[in-house]
């Protein structure tokens, strides 16, 4: 109910557009019922898996027309034909367990005229032409599996939290070595800059930040642990 | 556009939360078995000496190549079901196999090494009679196809038609067989029943009629294929059961038909037996052998030879149980049911060292057909292997002197119904369970019992450790953990179960769900061909020492007469409990939650007189039934008259009609009626809304979903209807009609929702629709649900979606307590099984996202449901022609066991809400322990450093 109401508007809009482009006797919206004694036609085409020899996949491939209503098989060269199909509009799919093919809609008029177009289940009468005889190219192997979340040192080190901790640590450890701290001028300068850096005493202390981080990410423990030992020493100076 | 992107993003976010298979889980807890069905034609590939292929064409319209060493499939081609995919004939030449398909509609040639199609052509309409390969000497280039009115001739290389000719007088003459022996002529053999034989010879080159013969005085002949063969140099030989004589006619010289009374050969036909002739033509380009068989009785064969126009008897084979199989100049016979011998055709002498003994499975059927593969050994003697096909569709491949190389249970290609039964507890487990069962034992004995059970556990643990240690010393190849019926026991999470499968052929199987190995099989003979089966578990394994008990109801669809087969589902043995005889046709069967004193659930059977009989029907049961009768209701469906009726049981086991709903059968027909599964649990009674109020579910256990389809199939007027009826009161809770829609309709009915799928004829697509029922913000009676006391009609919400594929079957996951979110399992024609979260089929999905809907985690409405291959629970292990999906809860709340069956059987586990109750199998023990150790050392070091620092400061 919901769906039909929603779709009706776009359908009507699309129908008008589609009518202009159709060159067929039976419009796609009209549909064709199957006559038992009507003419039977053949849907032909070729399935291609780029980079793979046809022998390696044809034995597992099937051509399904409207579910399993009509079934065809792939020849050793990758071409296929589905025989004995009455006129109508059908979704043709190449089904293999390993490769992904896009389905194609094939319209057959009562006189046997064929055309192929993209499958669009929402705007069912939209016509985007596809070549006929069908040329269906596999768009790659099926992705059936999720990737496991693996744990590696690089992931750990490139973590922004870890970066944020390791860099200041390096500065704290290395800076006193580079700058002579005994120089009183330099000391004054440093104190000034320190005050500038930490103007608000209510801001959380570095150690608090550390503990928060520590409880947040289990991986960051090592850095946190080692920094604990060194930090107070620097501050005292 | 922005909205669309937002939607896509939402999908991506959501989909990442949905479970999928990881690559390293392949084959860990899932397995697939591929089948082909009952074999109709088989052909060993002999064109290469070392070939390991046997080609099979089956009654399930499957053409496959098997590996003769292992019994596994090389490849398999599954055609359409029904008569249009029916394989009429199989002819092999070299590496090509020609199949006639669909009553002579299609001619297909397959390349057997790759398994690809060479060519396929459409033949003219007309019912197929016979086909043969035509060649000259060893050069086979053509195939001839005989139909009712025409004979056509095709090139083997590309299928092109060489010529086609109308058969003369085809209105009167019934052409039945086509024959060629490589002399440039093709013979079409036909008869006018009870009058004469007509033989037409065509030239291979251009289809010109070379000669035409009609033989009169063959009034006794009614069927050429049944009573005539061609032997030697084109001698048509027929057998007449009335005059008990052979008639011979030379096809080339068309001389007079000669009559040879069997008495003159010293032969006698068993009374009432229609004699049968068997001949063999090893090469289509050469003449058939001059030796042939005459079957004179059910177990009596005679080997005859045509020698210079004279028939000589060579040897009699009596008693012979099974068919003969002939191959080249050797003949095979299976004598005395279980041994097979090789005979020379020319002399009829038995060859030495060619006996093959096979032991028949006592729970299987009788042998039906033998398929023999002969080969030359290195020392130029003849060796052979045989594939035995039995009545229960089993294929057994046996090598000399009787070693079974493999067995294929092809009956499993047609599973009708199944159940999963818990495995029994082991002795120790039962002991532990027993501790909790009894009460009032006194403190001391309880303590003692506790201690003793702990001791038992310790003992078992030590034994387990010892076994591990012992196995570790042995090389890996020797350690086998084979599951046998003896060491079956329940695992700690009850993930391993016994799958009891019922097949259409009447063979029952017990399969271990963990490995897929068949633990027991039982063939029920005299099953009617159109039987309907219903399998019920009457007693589970929980009631030790009473054995578990399953009951199979077998009902003949034509007569309605039913029989019961009661068996133990763990061992497959027939139970000692004798089921009642059911003289009346059975209309309905129902399992009651009542149990007798032996803990067997009561099965009620309603016959066509609306009388009810109970099984088991002990005094205890009858007494319970009398007490409960007023609250036992059941319904009957008569789909031909469109009548649904509800009944109540009376205390004297008769019934009274309570309600009746008639759906006019001329407008619509009832397609299916679905209730809820009795073992289903619903954890939460309502849904918490965004504003913290609760929307209560309408959980009516008696609700039935009735699906109807219109009888008018015109695409403008066809419709699908769904009725929700209370099974006790007959009250129609809800009715919905989907206009411009038709079946097949697939329905799932569970909790407070019904999901159904139909074909929309207007938009030519499949659509899903979901109906959810809610009581509202308040519950009428929160403690117990009664159909008789529910004054308020439920609120009904419905929403529909587009589904971009056809579906074959539909089922919902099921878990122990119903806490885990539900998924729909959808079997697709491509063979994939899609696990679609139920949250996508939620009628409360909003069109416009609001704060509240976000709070509730509702996905914004999108008309199309997506099929993501990551959601395929069976990755590339496709299940052909999936017909049913069975779901069962396991001991773990997060885990649902799934079995999909069709042509193949696939078993796996699904975790709809991920594995929240056990550690995942990718849990990183290394990481957690290394972090722990690192932390430990870091604290040690920093402690030491701090000490040093303090000391230094003190010194300063």
> In angstroms, what separates the C-alpha of B870 from chain A's closest C-alpha?
4
Interface mutation vs chain B, best among A94, A145, A150, A210, most B CBs within 10 Å: A145
Q: What would the DSSP string read from start to end of B174-243?
A: EEEEEE--SSSEEEEEEEETTTEEEEEEEETTT--EEEEEEE---TT---HHHHEEEETTTEEEEEETTT
- Residue count of chain B, please give it: 956
> pLDDT tens-digit profile of B832-868?
999 999 999 999 899 888 888 888 888 899 989 988 8
Q: Judge: B78–A62 Cβ closer than 8 Å, yes or no.
A: yes
Q: How large is the average pLDDT for residues B61-80?
A: 91
Strands B896-901 and B905-910: antiparallel
Specify the higher pLDDT residue, A156 or B407: B407
Interatomic CA distance for residues B290 and B303, integer angstroms = 11
| Better-scored residue on pLDDT, B288 or B903 | B903
- Give the CA-trace dihedral at B108, B109, B112, B116, to 10 degrees: -70
Q: Does residue B226 carry a pLDDT above 50? A: yes
Residue B941: per-residue pLDDT: 96
Q: Does B870 touch chain A (CB under 8 A)?
A: yes
The least confident of A39-48, A152-161, B556-565, B675-684 is A152-161
pLDDT of B814 above 80: yes
Predicted pLDDT of residue B809: 93
A41: closest chain B residue by CA: B122
The interface predicted TM-score of the complex, written ipTM, equals: 0.82
Calculate mean pLDDT across residues B252-262. 75
pLDDT at A198 over 90: no
Q: How many CA atoms lie within 13 A of B40 on its CB side?
A: 16
Per-residue model confidence (pLDDT) at position B939 = 95
Tell me the CA distances in angstroms from B682 to B687, B752, B817, one per residue in order. Answer: 12, 9, 7
Q: Please answer yes or no on whether B806 and A66 come within 8 Å at the CB atom.
A: yes
Task: Provide the percentage of residues in chain B whose pLDDT is more than 70.
Answer: 92
Higher-scoring residue by pLDDT: B331, B486: B486
pLDDT tens by residue, B884-942: 999 999 989 999 999 999 999 999 999 988 888 888 777 778 888 999 999 999 999 99
Instruction: Report yes or no: B185 and B204 within 8 Å, Cβ to Cβ.
Output: yes
Residue B101 has pLDDT above 50, yes or no: yes
CB within 8 Å of chain A, chain B residues 675-734: 714-715
The whole-number average pLDDT for the span B318-334 is 54
End-to-end CA distance of chain B: 72
Mean pLDDT of chain B: 84
Q: What contacts A57, CB < 8 A, 6 or more positions away? A: A49, A96, A98, A99
Q: Is the pLDDT of residue B106 over 50?
A: yes
Strands B703-710 and B694-697: unpaired
Residues in chain A: 237
| Angstroms from B416 CA to nearest CA on chain A | 20
Chain A interface, mutation test: which of B114, B125, B927, B951, most A Cβ atoms within 10 Å? B114
Please give the torsion angle defined by the CA atoms of residues B484, B488, B492 and B498, in that order, rounded to the nearest 10 degrees.
90
Most confident of A81-85, A201-205, B171-175, B475-479: A81-85
Q: Quote the pTM value.
A: 0.83
* A201 burial level (CB within 10 Å; 0-12, 13-18, 19+): exposed
pLDDT at residue number B373: 79
Mean pLDDT, range B224-230, rounded to an integer: 78
Q: Provide the mean pLDDT of chain A.
A: 71
Strands B694-697, B382-390: parallel, antiparallel or unpaired by DSSP? unpaired
Report the alpha-carbon distance of residue A233 to residue A148 in Å, rounded.
43
Q: What is the distance between the alpha carbons of residues B111 and B106, in angstroms, rounded to a whole number?
A: 16
Determine contact, residues B106/A83, Cβ cutoff 8 Å.
Answer: yes
Give whole-number Cα distances, B480 to B424, B471, B835, B857, in Å: 22, 9, 34, 49
What per-residue confidence (pLDDT) applies to B436?
61
pLDDT of residue B509: 93
Amino acid B901: pLDDT = 94
- Average pLDDT (B648-656) is 87
* Share above pLDDT 90 across residues of chain B, in percent, rounded to a whole number: 24
Q: Which residues of A touch B934 (CB under 8 A)?
A: 221-222, 225
Q: Which of A102-111, B312-321, B602-611 has the lowest mean pLDDT?
A: B312-321
pLDDT digit string, tens, across residues A221-236: 444 334 343 344 444 4
Q: Tell me if A218 and B931 make a contact (CB, 8 A cut-off).
A: yes
Q: Is A153 on the interface with B (CB under 8 A)?
A: no
* Section B63-72 average pLDDT: 91
Least confident of A153-157, B456-460, B648-652: A153-157
Give the dihedral sign, CA A153/A157/A159/A162.
Answer: positive
Q: Does B53 touch chain A (CB under 8 A)?
A: no
User: Is residue A160 less than 8 Å (CB to CB) from chain B?
Assistant: no
Give the model's pLDDT for residue A92. Answer: 92
Task: Encode burial over A123-143: b for 16+ CB neighbours within 10 A, e otherwise.
Answer: bbbbbeebebebebebeeebe
Question: Does the pLDDT value for residue B345 go beyond 60?
Answer: yes
A2 alpha-carbon distance from chain centroid? 29
SS3 B574: strand
pLDDT attached to residue B476: 58
The single-letter DSSP state of residue B360 is P
Residue A69: closest C-alpha in chain B = B80
pLDDT confidence tier of residue B244, bands split at 50, 70 and 90: confident
Helix (H) and strand (E) counts in chain B: 7, 63
CA B16 vs CA A151, B5, B818, B916: distances in Å:
18, 17, 23, 16
Cβ-Cβ contacts under 8 Å, A108 against chain B: none
Residue A25: predicted pLDDT: 31
Nearest-CA neighbor of B491 among B539, B570, B426?
B426
Q: pLDDT: is A130 or B253 the higher one?
A: A130
In this prediction, residue B461 has a pLDDT band, given cuts at 50, 70 and 90, of confident
Lowest mean pLDDT among A5-19, B61-75, B533-547: A5-19
**Given A64, A76, A89, which is nearest B117 (Cβ)?**
A76
CB within 8 Å: B120 and A143: no
Find the mean pLDDT for residues B410-426: 89
Taking CB atoms and an 8 Å limit, are B798 and A1 in contact across chains?
yes
Q: Which CA distances in Å does B18 have to B14, B402, B835?
A: 7, 52, 9
Average pLDDT over residues B57-71: 91
Q: Give contacts of B798 with chain A, Cβ < 8 Å.
A: 1-2
Q: What is the pLDDT of residue B9?
A: 42
Residues 48-67 of A with CB under 8 A from B: 54-55, 58-60, 62, 64, 66-67
Query: What pLDDT digit, counting tens, does each position of B700-726 carry?
Result: 888 999 999 998 888 888 999 999 999
């Amino acid at each position: 109910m919901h769906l039909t109401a929603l779709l009706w508007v776009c359908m009507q809009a699309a129908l008008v557009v589609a009518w202009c482009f159709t060159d067929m006797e039976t419009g796609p919206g009209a549909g064709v019922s199957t006559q038992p004694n009507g003419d039977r036609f053949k849907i032909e085409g070729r399935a291609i898996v780029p980079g793979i020899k046809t022998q390696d996949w044809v034995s597992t491939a099937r051509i399904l027309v409207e579910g399993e209503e009509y079934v065809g098989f792939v020849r050793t060269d990758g071409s296929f034909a589905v025989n004995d199909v009455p006129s109508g509009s059908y979704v043709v799919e190449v089904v293999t367990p390993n490769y992904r093919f896009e389905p194609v809609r094939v319209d057959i008029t009562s006189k046997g005229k064929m055309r192929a177009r993209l499958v669009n289940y929402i705007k069912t009468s939209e016509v985007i032409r596809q070549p006929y005889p069908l040329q269906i190219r596999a768009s790659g192997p099926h992705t059936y599996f999720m990737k496991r979340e693996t744990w590696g040192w690089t992931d750990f080190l490139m973590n922004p939290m870890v970066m944020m901790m390791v860099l200041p640590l390096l500065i704290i450890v290395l800076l006193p070595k580079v700058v002579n701290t005994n120089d009183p001028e330099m000391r004054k300068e440093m104190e000034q800059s320190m005050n500038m850096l930490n103007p608000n005493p209510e801001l959380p202390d570095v150690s608090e930040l550390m503990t928060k981080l520590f409880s947040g990410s289990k991986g960051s423990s090592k850095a946190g642990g080692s920094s604990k030992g060194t930090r107070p020493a620097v501050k005292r100076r | 556009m922005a909205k669309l992107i937002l939607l896509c993003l939402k999908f991506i976010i959501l989909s990442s939360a949905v479970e999928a298979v990881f690559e390293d889980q392949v084959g860990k807890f899932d397995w697939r078995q591929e089948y082909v069905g009952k074999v109709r034609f088989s052909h060993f590939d002999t064109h290469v000496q070392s070939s390991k292929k046997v080609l099979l064409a089956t009654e399930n319209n499957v053409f496959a190549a098997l590996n003769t060493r292992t019994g596994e499939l090389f490849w398999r081609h599954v055609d359409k079901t029904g008569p249009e995919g029916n394989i009429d004939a199989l002819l092999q030449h070299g590496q090509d196999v020609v199949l006639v398909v669909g009553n002579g509609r299609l001619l297909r040639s397959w390349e057997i090494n790759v398994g690809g199609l060479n060519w396929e052509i459409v033949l003219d309409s007309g019912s197929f009679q016979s086909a043969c390969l035509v060649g000259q000497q060893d050069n086979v280039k053509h195939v001839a196809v005989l139909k009712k009115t025409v004979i056509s001739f095709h090139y083997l290389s590309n299928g092109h038609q060489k010529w086609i000719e109308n058969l003369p007088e085809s209105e009167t003459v019934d052409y039945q067989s086509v024959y060629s022996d490589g002399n440039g002529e093709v013979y079409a053999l036909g008869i006018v029943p009870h009058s004469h034989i007509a033989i037409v010879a065509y030239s291979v080159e251009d289809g010109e009629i070379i000669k035409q013969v009609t033989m009169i005085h063959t009034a006794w002949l009614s069927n050429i294929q049944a009573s005539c063969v061609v032997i030697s140099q084109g001698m048509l030989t027929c057998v007449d059961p009335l005059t008990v004589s052979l008639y011979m006619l030379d096809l080339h010289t068309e001389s007079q038909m000669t009559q040879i009374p069997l008495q003159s050969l010293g032969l006698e036909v068993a009374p009432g037996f229609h004699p049968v002739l068997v001949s063999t033509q090893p090469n289509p380009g050469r003449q058939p052998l001059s030796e042939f068989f005459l079957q004179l009785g059910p177990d009596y064969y005679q080997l005859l030879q045509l020698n210079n126009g004279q028939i000589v008897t060579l040897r009699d084979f009596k008693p012979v149980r099974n068919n003969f199989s002939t191959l080249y100049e050797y003949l095979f016979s299976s004598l005395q049911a279980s041994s097979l011998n090789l005979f020379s055709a020319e002399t009829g002498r038995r060859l030495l060292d060619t006996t093959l003994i096979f032991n028949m499975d006592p729970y299987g059927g009788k042998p039906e057909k033998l398929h023999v593969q002969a080969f030359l050994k290195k020392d130029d003697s003849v060796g052979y292997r045989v594939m035995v096909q039995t009545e229960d569709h089993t294929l057994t491949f046996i090598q000399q002197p009787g070693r079974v190389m493999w067995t294929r249970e092809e009956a499993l290609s047609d599973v009708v119904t199944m159940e999963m039964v818990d495995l029994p507890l082991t002795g120790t487990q039962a002991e532990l369970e027993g501790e909790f069962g009894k009460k009032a034992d006194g403190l001391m004995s309880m303590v003692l019992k506790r201690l003793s059970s702990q001791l038992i556990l310790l003992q078992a643990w030590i034994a387990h450790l010892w076994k591990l240690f012992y196995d570790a010393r042995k090389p890996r190849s020797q350690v086998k953990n084979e599951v046998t019926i003896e060491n079956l026991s329940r695992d700690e999470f009850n993930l391993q179960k016994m799958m009891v499968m019922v097949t259409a052929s009447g063979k029952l199987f017990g399969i271990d769900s963990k490995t897929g190995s068949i633990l027991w099989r039982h063939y029920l003979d005299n099953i009617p061909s159109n039987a309907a089966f219903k399998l019920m578990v009457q007693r589970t394994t929980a009631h030790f020492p009473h054995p578990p008990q399953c009951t199979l109801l077998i009902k003949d669809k034509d007569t309605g007469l039913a029989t019961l087969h009661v068996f133990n589902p763990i061992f497959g043995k027939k139970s000692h409990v004798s089921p009642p005889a059911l003289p009346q046709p059975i209309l309905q069967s129902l399992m009651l939650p009542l149990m007798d004193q032996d803990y067997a659930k009561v099965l009620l059977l309603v016959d066509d007189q609306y009388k009810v009989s109970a099984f088991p029907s002990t005094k205890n049961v009858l007494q319970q039934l009398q007490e409960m009768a007023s609250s036992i209701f059941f319904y009957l469906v008569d789909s031909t008259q469109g009548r649904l009726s509800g009944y109540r049981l009376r205390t004297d086991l008769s019934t009274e009609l309570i309600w009746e709903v008639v759906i006019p059968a001329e407008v619509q027909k009832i397609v299916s009626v679905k209730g809820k599964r009795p073992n289903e649990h619903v954890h939460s009674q309502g849904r918490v809304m965004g504003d913290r109020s609760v929307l209560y579910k309408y959980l009516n256990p008696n609700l039935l979903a009735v699906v109807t389809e219109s009888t008018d199939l015109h695409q403008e007027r066809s419709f699908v209807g769904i009725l929700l009826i209370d099974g006790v009161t007959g009250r129609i809770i809800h009715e919905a009609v989907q206009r411009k829609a038709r079946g097949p309709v697939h329905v799932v009915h569970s909790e407070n929702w019904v999901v159904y799928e139909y074909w929309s004829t207007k938009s030519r697509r499949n659509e899903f629709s979901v109906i959810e029922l809610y009581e509202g913000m308040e519950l009428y009676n929160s403690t117990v649900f009664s159909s008789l006391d529910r004054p308020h009609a439920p609120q009904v919400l419905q929403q529909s979606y587009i589904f971009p594929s056809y579906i074959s079957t539909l089922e919902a996951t099921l878990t122990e307590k119903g806490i885990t979110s539900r998924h729909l399992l959808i079997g697709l024609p491509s063979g994939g099984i899609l696990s679609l979260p139920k949250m996508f089929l939620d009628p409360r999905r909003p069109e416009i996202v609001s704060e509240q809907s976000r709070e509730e985690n509702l996905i914004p409405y999108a008309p199309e449901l997506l099929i993501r291959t990551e959601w395929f629970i069976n990755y590339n292990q496709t299940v052909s022609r999936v017909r049913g999906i069975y779901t069962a809860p396991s001991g773990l709340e997060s885990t649902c066991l799934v079995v999909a069956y069709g042509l193949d059987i696939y078993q796996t586990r699904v975790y709809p809400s991920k594995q929240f109750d056990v550690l995942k199998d990718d849990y990183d023990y290394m990481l957690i322990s290394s972090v722990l150790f690192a932390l430990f050392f870091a604290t040690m070091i920093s402690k030491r450093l701090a000490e040093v620092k303090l000391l230094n400061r003190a010194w300063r």
